[in-house]
Amino acid sequence: MIGSLVRFSGKKRELYFPRQSAYGLFDNEVGLVTSYTKNALGDEHVRVQWLKPVLQTDGRRATVSDFNLLNFEVVGSVKK
């Protein structure tokens, strides 16, 4: 998983996390997975280094974000 290219999906976020904020500014943004963890419940989380910094509502730009893997579509993966 580390090294995979992923795209944030607003549709997947709405499907899996309907009661949480949408993070619409991240929709369709692409980044590289730099960290992957799986907790005791089986939830998978990734740290993503964005290819282009993502503008946030407060005017700052996010270069790295941590989200549940269910928010993403894998668009490219590392071959072993």
- For the chain, counts of helices (H) and of strands (E): 1, 5
Cα 23 from Cα 52, distance rounded (Å)? 16
Cα 53 from Cα 11, distance rounded (Å)? 21
pTM assigned to the model:
0.89
Q: What is the mean pLDDT of residues 24-32?
A: 95
Residue 80 has pLDDT above 70, yes or no: no
pLDDT of residue 65: 96
- Please name which of 26, 35, 38 lies closest in space to residue 72, comparing C-alpha atoms: 26
Q: What pLDDT digit, counting tens, does each position of 1-21 carry?
A: 899 999 999 999 999 999 998
Residue 68 has pLDDT above 80, yes or no: yes
Q: What is the mean pLDDT of residues 37-47?
A: 97
Residue 57 has pLDDT above 90, yes or no: no
